[in-house]
A and B are shown apart, each in its own frame.
Chain A
Amino acid sequence: MRKHARGLGVAAAAMLLLAACGDDGGTSGDGDGGGDRPQIALVSKGFQHQFWQAVRQGAEQAGEEFDVEVTFEGPDSESEVAQQIDMLQSAIDRGPDALGFAALDSQAATPLMEDAASREIPVIAFDSGVDSDVPLTTAATDNRAAAALAAEKMVELIGGEGEVALVVHDQTSVTGVERRDGFVEYIEENAPGVEIVDIQYGGGDHLESTNLATAIIQGNPNLAGIYGANEGSAIGVVNAVNELGMAGELVIVGFDSGQAQIDAIRNGVMAGAITQNPIAIGYETVKAAVQALDGEELPETIDTGFLWYDATNIDDEEIQAVLYE
């Protein structure tokens, strides 16, 4: 018994230490809470991913431009819904002047949205919406329209007929759902010759997505193309096709950007991909928050834009500006 008690004591101390470190690491430029400049706290879906680093860059850019203090934090992975809710809670508890929030789960955060509303903290949703009336606006890619463009390119590239499959990151987030449905709906409405044979979810995890793409390809020998709905999913498909020695035999259409995806497009394994404009997402979120603090009227949604890129236009200035590596 005594041994256990000591063990727990050490564990508790370690936890406290880790918790203390964690709080510091997750936020940036926090700590002087009571400065003159308005505080805008952004809780994203992640922070280590290149995409979220680009969002952060845009947010900080706007922070400088409008002279506001921007903090940015996010959970370790895009499946850590509970961790994100904790971060949101502590962000609200810090009492920022405005809040930006990218929900991992569109419903899990509703009670906290009410909490923010009751403290009269204006909330701007970014990247994906929340199931709540609280956010004044949503600065995001129109994922459904973007996925439809991916589907259009896929249909074009496989010549209007054949079997296709989808590797999606998850079935709970708005981006997961919309990027799947936008793609599926386009095919159903516009491409009678194209059949969707499988949809699987890999959590955006590279290894998991690689393994499941391999299984999909094995299970569907007549497959003409695969669509990967985010960076990890698309790279998983590329890995699977490379490992099976089938590069060039399948049309791969991706979503998002990143070094590996850019390489795959340059060397012809991936046909092309949709890129969002993460810098604009961060920038527009902070800008909308500033406008809200100034009492300005905001539109219901702010479309931050998307673009198709492939080997022919990847070096264009317009594309290079929104590709994040």
Chain B
Amino acid sequence: MSDADTTRSSTDTLTAPEHTRTRSRGFVGRQLQQLLALASLIALVLFFSVADGNFLTWSNITGILLSTAVIGILALGTTFVIVSGGIDLSLGTGMTLCAVMAGVFLTTLGWPLALGVLGGILTGAVLGFINGFNVAVLRIPPFIVTLAMMLIAQGLALVISGTAPIYFTDVPGFTDISRGEIIPGVDLPNAVVILFLLTAVGAVILRKSLLGRYAFAIGSNEEAAEISGVDVRRWKILIYVLSGVFMGIAGVVLAARLNSAQPSLGVGYELQAIAAVVIGGTSLQGGKGSVVGTLIGALIVGTVTNGLRIMSIPQEWQTVIIGLVILVAVYTDNLRRGREGPMTR
């Protein structure tokens, strides 16, 4: 970020009470941003429905939702980190470590289901705490902290699992976390229900809670937030812990879906999650973003991937097209912001 930008933001906070200012401008911007993303999603669904008759069936729609679930949950959590101006590269392998830990708790140690699941989620919270502590207190750049954690988590997942997958075949009810259908009469896998629930919870935390408000403040201008009396260190740690909790939940859902914890999985998932966040309109420079946008972003990636697969487009081209989608999403976002203010915030 440039000096000019810092100054502008500082004066923003000085001349107008922070919340009213960001509210009034942020609300319109946010609505527009989400509407655009939603419109793109609807356009994609329409396109694929016309292009291939097998696309718009209930079972394919649930298929898309299910394939979005794990990466989507990861992305919801990382939205907070990115809004606060950070980044988390340890999402993918960290999630795998959470899955492995849940496997150890439930199979090797034989804990009851709820306790084992909780253990897996808490593993994520611990990883998040370590990330947050390193970023906020030791002041190591988030990119480096989470890159190191990515390797540490990957290694630990292999060490703890003894390099072999852990199977949950003998844990009754475990796969229902992902595959079961808790809502009677509705053919919707639980993983999808969890994704939607967490979106709602995440949106409320980001918009209504102190943590959410401070995440925006820190992401917009850390110094200004500090001067206004925000305990930046504490809130940064909490933001990473929250992201870690989402990571833990994603890990449990992943393991339940595969009925196993595959210790070699997870590399590259962080990039898919970050892509979903960016497509959803959250700025990688922090200070701007939304949880619902992230859900839509994840659904856009899931829909494009599924649609191209249904149409039997060669896989090499699928990858190219997903890359283009990310570019277009960020470009249109920049255009819109260009009209609002001088920087790409």
A contact residues vs B (CB 8 Å cutoff): 3-4, 7-8, 10-11, 14, 18, 21-22, 25, 46-50, 53, 76-77, 171, 197-198, 200-201, 205-207, 210-212, 214-216, 218-221, 235, 239, 242-244, 258-260, 263
Contacts and interface: CB of A to CB of B under 8 A. Distances in A.
5 closest Cβ pairs, A-B complex: A48-B163, A215-B309, A219-B310, A211-B67, A218-B60
A219 B148 contact: no
A258 to B, nearest CB: 8
Given A218-B59, A259-B165, A11 B262 contact: no
Interface in B49-67: 52, 54-55, 57, 59-60, 63, 66-67
Contacts of B262: 206
Contacts of B258: 206-207, 210, 235, 239
A265 to B, nearest CB: 14
Interface stretch (B1-9, B139-147, B219-227): B139-147
Contacts of B310: 215, 218-219
B315 interface: yes
9 contacts: A14-B144, A77-B264, A77-B267, A171-B315, A215-B60, A215-B305, A218-B63, A218-B310, A258-B165
Contact of A7 (B55, B140, B169, B263): B140
Interface of B: 52, 54-55, 57, 59-60, 63, 66-67, 70, 138-141, 144, 147-148, 151-152, 154-155, 158, 163-165, 167, 169, 179, 189, 254, 257-260, 262-265, 267, 305-306, 309-312, 315
Nearest to B311: A219
A48 B57 contact: no
B260 A214 contact: no
A8, A18, A211 interface centre (most CB from chain B within 10 Å) = A211
A282 to B, nearest CB: 16
Nearest to A25: B155
Contacts of A11: 140, 144, 147-148
A108 B310 CA distance: 33
A14 B148 contact: yes
B163 A53 contact: yes
A55 B82 CA distance: 43
Contacts of B309: 200, 212, 215-216, 219
B99 to A, nearest CB: 11
Contacts of B158: 48, 76
Contacts of B138: 10
Contacts of B259: 239, 260
B260 A260 contact: yes
B315 A243 contact: no
A201 B317 CA distance: 12
A215 B306 contact: yes
A49 to B, nearest CB: 7
A210 B259 CA distance: 12
Contacts of A18: 148, 151-152
A243 B155 contact: no
A214 B66 contact: yes
A168 B205 CA distance: 42
A4, A14, A207 interface centre (most CB from chain B within 10 Å) = A207
A263 B264 contact: no
A207 B211 CA distance: 33
A14, A218, A259, A260 interface centre (most CB from chain B within 10 Å) = A218
A3 B257 contact: no
Given A48-B263, A259-B167, A10 B140 contact: yes
A219 B164 CA distance: 33
B63 A76 contact: no
A210 B257 contact: yes
A218 B151 CA distance: 36
Contacts of A48: 158, 163-164, 263-264
Given A197-B312, A207-B254, A219 B260 contact: no
A207 B155 contact: no
Given A219-B55, A243-B66, 19 more contacts: A48-B164, A49-B163, A171-B315, A200-B309, A205-B265, A206-B258, A210-B67, A211-B67, A212-B309, A215-B309, A215-B310, A218-B54, A218-B59, A218-B63, A218-B306, A219-B54, A219-B311, A239-B257, A260-B259
B312 A219 contact: yes
Nearest to B57: A218
A123 to B, nearest CB: 26
B52 A211 contact: no
A76 B54 contact: no
A25 B263 CA distance: 15
A221 B139 CA distance: 55
B169 A220 contact: no
A24 to B, nearest CB: 11
Contact of B264 (A46, A211, A239): A46
Contacts of B311: 219
Contact of A207 (B54, B55, B63, B257): B257
A105 to B, nearest CB: 16
A10 B138 CA distance: 10
A51 B309 CA distance: 29
Contacts of B52: 219
A198 B312 contact: yes
A273 to B, nearest CB: 17
A218 B163 CA distance: 34
B311 to A, nearest CB: 7
B265 A76 contact: no
A214 B165 CA distance: 22
Contacts of A219: 52, 54-55, 309-312
A84 to B, nearest CB: 14
Given A3-B139, A46-B264, A48-B158, A220 B63 contact: no
A205 B151 CA distance: 19
Contacts of A235: 258
Nearest to A244: B59
